[in-house]
Structure 1
Amino acid sequence: MRDPQPLSLAIAGLFLLLCLPRIAVPGSYLFDEGYYIPAALSLLQGEAVLNREHPMLAKELLAVSIAVLGDNPLGWRALSLVSMTGALFLAMRAMWHFTRDRTASLMFGFLLATSGLTLGLARLGTLDAPMLLFAAAGAHALAKDRRWVAAVFFGLSLACKWTVAPLLPVLALLVGMRGAGGPRAVGIELLRFGIVPLAVYAVSFLPGFFVRENPFVPAEFLTLQSVMKDALLSYNAPNPYAARWWELPLGLAPYWALAQAVDGAWRFIVLIQNPVGTLATLVALPFAWRDRRLRLLLPFYLTPIVLAAGSDRVAYVHQFALPMAVGLAMAALMLARMPRYWTVGTAVASGVVLAFFHPYITAAPFADRGAGERAIWIDRWRIVDFDTWAPVHRPHFDAREKLQAICLQRPVDCDIAMLESPLADLMAEHGLTRAAVAFRTGGAGSRVLALNATPAMRERVRESLRSGFPPSAGGREEWTLSVRRGDFVAVGLFEGIPRDRPAAERRVRSYLVSLEATPGS
């Protein structure tokens, strides 16, 4: 069968063109860019390691992108654009080398390219696209039986984001059992896909040892991993964007990253799975029991879902990108075995659905906010009240109540936690120029750590620490941070336990005790 590489390149090129329109809109941080871009800038300037709840590599690559293209929307998002396009091409090539099935390879690429989630993540300066690029590169190397190279690439994926971590033992087990492999072969593969990725992962942290402020310390490397785990597991506050574990494979939990007036027009950016691809994946699942190729992919699809089902951590649609890709691979393999009209019909349907959603993924201008309603096909997708996103002036107490509603998702009591306050959008929405957020901490000697903040914000945190905490009733202390429009803050409050105590004993507790907001003029 003829190699479909030219057509694979064409699909990847078409995908790149679909991603480009309005990629610089909005000109401010969008979605999780508010975490990762400041972290990349801080690394670039050698200041500090921000966003310590995620690994380092993707933020280091973001820093390179910004250094080359500038601190602007293109510099923020070019890495994801190139990474996702490369991931799409390598995924198709991996499918071809695994199966030698031309139809399955091209159909897999087309389903991935027409997924709103794939396209949306390619346009955001986040960690997901680089993680997927290296995962696809690992799969491609594995398909060509270059196992050591594959292990390195999976390590690079792990160094971007932990998404691939639970899949590595599954991969080692399946590779070791291939053919006449026995326990010894499984053990060798467990070592290969354990030690090599972990070594690559560890090397990616090296730049963090050379920053000026609070650098990594070799003796605390393992403790840092525990802190990262605890921070990630602390994301359990209910909110409308969060999905229950079974909603992700059903495509019921989109994420509206933008739904507001920008540059004189209403614009929307939604991360959403293509319903056609979701349906094809669900149909393919029963075929796994009859098709060996699907059966080999099934554990990689089910493992993240089972882990999500057993966790109380909230999940979001972008965290499902890798399992979604595996599911679409299963769908492509199923469709390749079916009559051609099923394959063509599915491709056409998937393309038509993407054509409808494309303006809602790429911030196309609309005349009014009611346009967003047309993209809500089922009630579960209605997770944004477009009225409340309107940039109108509201009474000061309304803004205060809304800010309190977000901040009071915690108090939390866990090994490490963050009180996330994406105040910039809310302040702009309500016409606020300043807000004061006050926290009560757990006693004398409490420390405050600004995990994600602009340099100006970090300086204000340092200034607050230098001036000390005003005493309050009950022997506790309060700390107030003045927030100005444009600030993005995530603050962790550490209870007053000496630093020489084990990390597990340094408990964290954060409470919002008061909030004041001042309307703009």
Structure 2
Amino acid sequence: MRLLSRPLPAALTIGLVAELLFCWRLTTPHMLVFDEVHYVPAARMLRDLAGPVNIEHPLLGKTLIALGMLIFGDGPLGWRALSTVAATGVVVGVHAMLWQIFRRVRTANIGAVLALLNFTVFIQARIAMLDGFMAAFVVGGLAMLLWAMRSEGGAVWRRWLGGAVLLGLAIGTKWTALPYLGMAGAAFLLVRRRHPDLWPGLPALAGLALLGGAAAATYFATFWPAFLYADQPLTLARLLPFQIDMYHQQTQVLPPHTYQSNWWTWPFDWRPVWYLYEPADGAQRGILMLGNPVVMWGGLVAVIACLIAWARGRDARAGGIALLWIASVAMWALIPKSLGFYYYYYLSSIWLALVIAAAFDHWRDRLRYWDEAFLAASAVLFIHFYPILSAAALRGPQSFHGWMWLKSWI
């Protein structure tokens, strides 16, 4: 199709398909699912500017859920509508990142479609949680920084600033986006050292200062609604101490949980999370937060392939994307959380789509049309698992056994 042979029409077409898929039966179930029980009540408090609640996380994600409720009403559509937009932003952002790195539409299309077919993106598109918004801002921010890489004149500064603002919004949604700001700064210095012609007119120190300063200013600006609370409004004097309160909430020791898992198990799709499995809307329904096995397990092979391409073929682009995935997993060894859950792997699962596309791009002469076969296999599994990804009506309470490949998935 000619439409898919040019970057912008291709990205918009894939994005439109993604949004339609995410919105289909979005209001099922008509009840709060999983962590919606925390974030929807918190969004209501923000909508009404009533007072602080759910203070362990910054405000922006809950503010966006509240915005959805103001637009579409306080019901399933309002709770989840903007999550679909965020997930579509992830799919389009993956396309933009790959296009900026490889300048090949086919490579960008492969990565974007894999992100669409990845179960994790689909599931987070249909639930009112913070992770979907955070991921959209991170992916969009990195895409903007890459867009600035080959820009000229004032556009370099504007796009670099835009990327910094988006990363600040990501941190204002969830603190786990903070390491990506550091990764972006480190990558900027390393790439500029080797390719000084990139980001023309943007000095290294000025770029770092703008990146950090704009992200920090944007982050603190996301707390503005808290200054308007009717009860216990935030003040400038309390803004910094409030960050310490949030840190203590984030690092408190929590009791064991049925679905907890260690970070080193996440790449293997070992312990997913049942967001829902109970009767709802007149039928047995389930939502399993699981990664598409073709993408998750095939992605691990692609990481190795990209590292080999870097070591043997000096393909720094493939190597850099592999390192992004590695860093996104390894950072959880340092984050002081007492419990881990598979959905923390959400951003890493998105990077796997880029890694796979990068591997096929590097080995395209040897693996001609393998990328299409890989997409087909991913699509087949998406269709197979769709009933327990989308809260479709199931036959009965024991229906889940038909999809349980591993005992650890139960």
TM-score by length of 2: 0.88
CA 1:248–1:236: 2 relative to 1, 3 Å = farther
**Matched position secondary structure for 2:50:** coil
Distance (Å, rounded) in 1 between the aligned partners of 2:381 and 2:21: 14
Which of 13, 31, 35 is the matching residue for 1:32? Answer: 35
User: CA contact under 8 A between 1:280 and 1:328: conserved in structure 2?
Assistant: no
Which amino acid in 2 is paired with 1:35?
H
- Residue 307 of structure 2 is aligned to residue 307 of structure 1: no
SS at match of 2:172: helix
Give 1:193's aligned residue: 211
Which consecutive unaligned segments of at least 5 residues does structure 1 have?
A: 383-521
Q: Against the structure 1 CA distance between its residues 5 and 269, is the aligned structure 2 distance closer, same or farther, given a 3 Å change threshold? A: same
Deviation, 1:185, is 5.5
Secondary structure in 1 matching 2:264: coil
More strand per residue: 1
State the 4+ residue runs in structure 1 displaced beyond 3 angstroms: 179-182, 184-190
Matched with 2:402 is: 374
Q: Secondary structure at the match of 1:155?
A: helix
Indicate which of 14, 17, 30 corresponds to 2:17.
14
2:355 to 330, 337, 341: 330
Once the two structures are TM-superposed, the CA of residue 234 in structure 1 deviates from its matched residue by 2.0
Q: Which amino acid aligns with 1:138?
A: G
- Secondary structure, in 3 states, of the residue corresponding to 1:257? strand
Match of 2:53 among 50, 55, 70: 50
- Asked if 2 retains the 8 angstrom alpha-carbon contact of 1:8 and 1:89, the reply is yes
Report the equivalent of 2:124.
Answer: 121
**How far has the Cα of 1:192 moved from its partner?**
2.5
Determine the C-alpha separation between the residues in 2 that align with 1:282 and 1:87.
21
State the secondary structure of the residue aligned to 1:239.
coil
- Tell me which amino acid in the other structure corresponds to 2:340: A
Q: Which blocks of at least 5 consecutive residues in structure 2 are unaligned?
A: 149-158, 196-201, 310-314
2:168 to 139, 155, 158: 155
In the other structure, the counterpart of 1:279 is: 297
In 2, the alpha carbon distance for the partners of 1:325 and 1:17 equals 20
Tell me which residue corresponds to 1:362. Answer: 390
* Equivalent residue number for residue 99 of structure 2: 96
Partner Cα separation in structure 1 for residue 48 and residue 177 of structure 2:
29
- Could you say which residue in structure 2 is the equivalent of 1:219? 237
Q: Distance in 2 between matches of 1:270 and 1:17?
A: 21
User: 1:142 offset after TM fit, Å?
Assistant: 1.4
Identity in percent? 28
Question: Paired residue for 1:296, among 307, 320, 338?
Answer: 320
- Structure 1 residues 238 and 187, CA gap change in structure 2 (3 angstroms): farther
Give the Cα–Cα distance (whole angstroms) in 2 for the partners of residues 136 and 307 of structure 1. 17
* 1:167–1:303 contact (8 Å) kept in structure 2: no
Please give the alpha-carbon distance, in whole angstroms, between the structure 2 residues aligned to 1:99 and 1:41. Answer: 43
More moved, 306-315 vs 345-354: 306-315
Match of 2:255 among 237, 240, 247: 237
CA-atom RMSD, angstroms?
2.1
C-alpha distance in 2, partners of 1:370/1:134? 38
Partner residue, 2:270: 252
Structure number having the greater helix percentage: 2
CA distance in 2, matches of 1:359, 1:241: 21
1:439 maps to none
Mapped partners of 1:189, 1:374: distance in 2: 53
d(CA) in 1 for partners of 2:339 and 2:322? 23
- Tell me the equivalent position of 2:72: 69
Q: Any idea what the Cα deviations from partners look like across 1:440-482, whole Å, max 9, x if unmatched?
A: xxxxxxxxxxxxxxxxxxxxxxxxxxxxxxxxxxxxxxxxxxx
In the superposition, the TM-score normalised over structure 1's length comes to: 0.70
| 1:130 shift after superposition | 1.7
The Cα offsets for residues 293-322 of structure 1, whole Å up to 9 and x where unpaired, read as: 122123322223223234453222222111
Secondary structure, counterpart of 2:166 in structure 1: helix
Q: Deviations over 1:396-441 (max 9, x none)?
A: xxxxxxxxxxxxxxxxxxxxxxxxxxxxxxxxxxxxxxxxxxxxxx
1:173: Cα distance to partner? 1.3
Instruction: Check 1:129–1:235 CA distance in 2 against 1; reply closer, same or farther (3 A cut).
Output: farther
For the 8 Å contact 2:141–2:163, the answer to whether it is kept is yes
- SS of the aligned residue for 2:182 comes to helix
Q: Is the 8 A contact 1:53 1:228 kept in 2?
A: yes
Return the alpha-carbon distance in structure 2 between the equivalents of residues 79 and 217 of structure 1: 29
SS of 2:277's partner is: strand
Q: What do residues 149-189 of structure 1 show as CA deviations (whole Å, max 9, x unaligned)?
A: 1111111111111222012112101112223379x965444
Q: Find 1:319's aligned residue among 316, 327, 344.
A: 344
Select which of 172, 179, 189 maps to 2:192.
179
Report which structure shows greater RCO (CA 8 Å, sep ≥6).
2
Once residues 193 and 118 of structure 2 are traced to their aligned partners in structure 1, the CA distance between those partners, rounded to angstroms, is: 38
